[in-house]
Structures are given as C-alpha cells and as structure tokens.
Structure 1
C-alpha cells in the first residue's frame, strides 16, 4: 500500500509537512452530496482531510447526469452520500469518510455534526438558513456555494456572523429548479474546497464574512465590496 507521504507528495511546495498533517487531523461536514458536494468531497479527500461526514437523503436520478460527478448509469437510484463515500474509499485509505443518508437536521444533535468546518452544498433556501443557524449555534464556520446556469457564488460565514441571512433573507422564496451547468458546478465547488482548506489551516481569506459572484459567461469574478 502507498504511504501517507507517497499519496500527498505532490501537495508539497504548496503545503508544508506540518500543514499536511494538520489537515489529516481535521473533520469536515459536507451537507449535500450532489453537484457541488460531489466535487467538494473529491477535492478534500485528494488533499488529505482526515475525516469527512457526508449528509444527503437523496438518490441519483437521470437529470443529475449533466453535472454531478457521481451520477452514473450504475449509480442511478442509489443514495448520494453513500455513493460519494464509496468513491472516496477507493481513492486512498487516509481519509475516513462516513455517509449519513439523512437530512442534516435529523442528525443535528449528534456528534456527526461536531466538525471543524461545514460546507453548504444545498439547493434549498430554508435548509441553507437552518444550516447557517446550526453553525452559528456551534461556533462553526460555514463555506457557502450556489450555482445557477453560468453563474455562481461562494462565501464564508464565520461564527457569529450573518452572511447567509444577508444572501437569503426570509422574504426570499424558492424558485423552480434552475438550469445548472457542469463547469459552473466544478468551479464553485473548487472554490469552496479551497476556502475550506484555508479555514482548516488558519489562513486568511478575502471571503471571510464576505462573498464573491462568479460569471463564467463573461469570465468575471466579482468580490463583494464590504
């Protein structure tokens, strides 16, 4: 079997040995394991995060195949969190990945949500608000991402702040299912993974308590002016 050093050798130069081993000690919850979640999980496992807790009650359907990494003909009808955990286990053995095929709100009193960072890969407004409130109640940072067509946004809510409330006020209502494109999902998820790693390593970011709008049609990355 390859060693820990072998698996993460190409991280060296961008990460120090100390940072690599620190990531191995950290726990992340990914809430939603479809489009954004599939890529976030993939990238966090490949960079060496030690524990991932995956939450999603949904199963893969044919309409997921245009953008969701783990939506394949053989996985249709299977739970998204369980499929993602199985794929993660096939990458290497240094990340412990546990699937929770339930709504995160069902498990909110359990140790499964006692993590260092939560990643919002949801597609439901009320669920996002509920997750943001849960994270604030536990003094836990939240990395937010959302996608619609060619456009997306990424932000980081630090404990005790109100980013999600500002982005999704109560007066906002749910719209019909938006168009979602594969490359937009991959870009937003990669930014979420990067912000998660910064939080785990204690690195600064212009997205802390802030957000960025991404327009891939006109190739425009616009950081919100505070």
Structure 2
C-alpha cells in the first residue's frame, strides 16, 4: 500500500501557488455549515487545494432526493449522516486532515466553538435556513471572520464575499424583522440581482418557494465549489483583489454570461427595492 505524502499528493497545485503558499494553506482552518449540494463539493475541493483543518456542520442524512447534486449522495451512503460521510470522503483524500464535526448543525449553543480559530467561513446552509444563516453571518461580522457565499442558481453561480470592515450580511440583505416571504424574496434578489437564470426555467410549477421546493443542477453546485475555492485561496493568502459586498459576481454557463453586480445599500438600493416589489407582485399572483 502506498503511504500518504502531502507534498506529493498536492504537488500539481505548485505553479499556480508556491511551495510556501501550499504550506500556509495546510495550516488554515475553514468552517463550512451545510454539507448538501454545495457544502460537500466545497469540502472536497478545498481539501484538494491543500487546506488542512475544517469545522463542518450538518444535522441531516443523505436521501434519494439528494442524488442529482450532492457529491456524497450515493446508494452506499443512504440514511447516513452527511457530516460522517463527507468527513470520511475528505479523509480519503488527505488522511492527515483535522476535521471537527458538528452533527447537530450550527446552533446558538455551539456557535463560538464552531468558529474557534477559524480563518474563513464558507456558507453552504440550505437556502431557507434564515435563522441559522443570520446568526452565523452576524457572528462573522462581529468577530472579523471573512465569509463567502455562492448560490447555485440554474446552471450558474452567484458569489458574494463579506469581508471584515466592509458591508455586512445584514446591511446587504436586510432580513431582520422581515416576514418569511419577504426574507425569501430579499435573499433571492440579493444573491442574484442580475437573475440570469430566470430566462431558461422550463417548468415554473417546479418552483414552490412557500414549501421550500425548487429545481437544482449538479453543474451549478460544482461551479460554486470552484468559485469559492478560488476566493478562499485569494483571501487566505492575501493574493490579489477580493471583491466584497455590495459588489458580487454572477456567472451563468447556460447563458454564456458573466455579470459584475453592484448594489450600493444592498437591498435598500432603489433598483433592488423595485425588483423586490415586482417579484413580490409576481409571487402573490403565483400563489393565488
């Protein structure tokens, strides 16, 4: 049996990063909340980048409905906890990894421990997990932890970085005090001001936001992993310009489009307010 060797295993990273940078990444710790469609791919991609330490959180188990997009969803993993499956898969890539698992998800009681010593937070929570998402992003803002979120939308990815000292998640999305329906619309339009994915939705009946149901693609999840790992590299190594909210990126592989979005004031921006009002009107018409 071949013995594991870190330097050899990740030697093909060298060139795009230096030996010294690879050693730096090996010592970094990333927290990932949510190990579903994007979270599992984030963990494995960042592991292959050479990140050496992780805190991962998810309370769910793999089921058949996950098969179209979640890297850990296989017949052999059915009904197994996502944190255990994904930790095993990551350890199979790098047996030297340090992984701390949070099988109850991220909660108010474990929040400080989950973020202890963390260099970067990667958001992979379920779209509708507003309470948990608001809590973790507030913690990151308060404690100066960079936070990255990439949404798998249609066949593309929408990216937002929340950097210390810059606009916070709440300042951008303004979810506090909103109703459930308002949070859904504010989050969706905030993630995707350009809404590139809207033009090729083939079956609108597949979208049921009130019941937390919507279509997804494996392509979008993998695009998210590539984009987030690149942002992680730049942030952790302090290499190059890192865009931060209210600026974002939206790339759609189906439309062959890349758009840089800019919404000063976040969802309080006049253009955003008009978009949200229009979306709310359309939403009400859909459910009547």
2:102 maps to 1:128: no
Q: Structure 1: 5+ residue runs without aligned partners?
A: none
- What is the CA distance between 1:167 and its match in structure 2? 4.9
| Superposed counterparts of 1:191-210, under 5 Å | 191-209=227-245, 210=247
More helix by share: 2
What is the RMSD computed on CA atoms of the aligned residues? 1.8
1:146 and 2:151 aligned = yes
Deviations 1:91-134 (A, max 9, x none): 12232222211221241122654300000011223322222101
Match 1:78 to one of 69, 77, 80 = 80
Is the CA contact (8 Å cut-off) linking 1:155 and 1:211 kept in structure 2?
yes
Deviation at 1:191? 0.4
2:88 and 2:115 mapped to 1: Cα distance?
A: 18
Q: Structure 2-normalised TM-score?
A: 0.73
Partner Cα distance (1:182, 1:122) in 2: 17
Partner residue, 1:215:
252
For residue 178 of structure 1, what is the aligned residue in structure 2?
Answer: 214
Deviation at 1:87, TM superposition (A): 0.6
Residue equivalent to 1:95: 97
Asked if 2 retains the 8 angstrom alpha-carbon contact of 1:23 and 1:48, the reply is yes
Corresponding position: 1:8 with 2:10: yes
TM-score (norm 1): 0.92
Question: 1:34 maps to what in 2?
Answer: 36
Give CA-to-partner distance per residue, 1:180-201, whole Å, 9 cap, x none. Answer: 1000111012101111121111
Aligned residues: 226
Q: Residue 144 of structure 2 aligns to a residue in which SS?
A: coil
Instruction: Give the whole-Å Cα distance in 1 for the aligned partners of 2:137 and 2:250.
Output: 19
For the pair 1:187 / 2:223, whether they are aligned, the reply is yes
Structure 1 contact 48–94 (Cα < 8 Å) conserved: no
Give the whole-Å Cα distance in 2 for the aligned partners of 1:203 and 1:45. Answer: 19
In structure 1, what is the Cα distance between the partners aligned to 2:115 and 2:121?
A: 11
SS of residue matched to 2:183: coil
- In structure 2, the gaps of 5 or more residues are 185-208, 264-288
Partner of 2:262: 225
- Range with bigger deviation, 92-101 or 81-90: 92-101
Instruction: Supply the distance in 2 between the matched residues of 1:72 and 1:54 (Cα, whole angstroms).
Output: 20
- 27-36 or 188-197: bigger deviation: 188-197
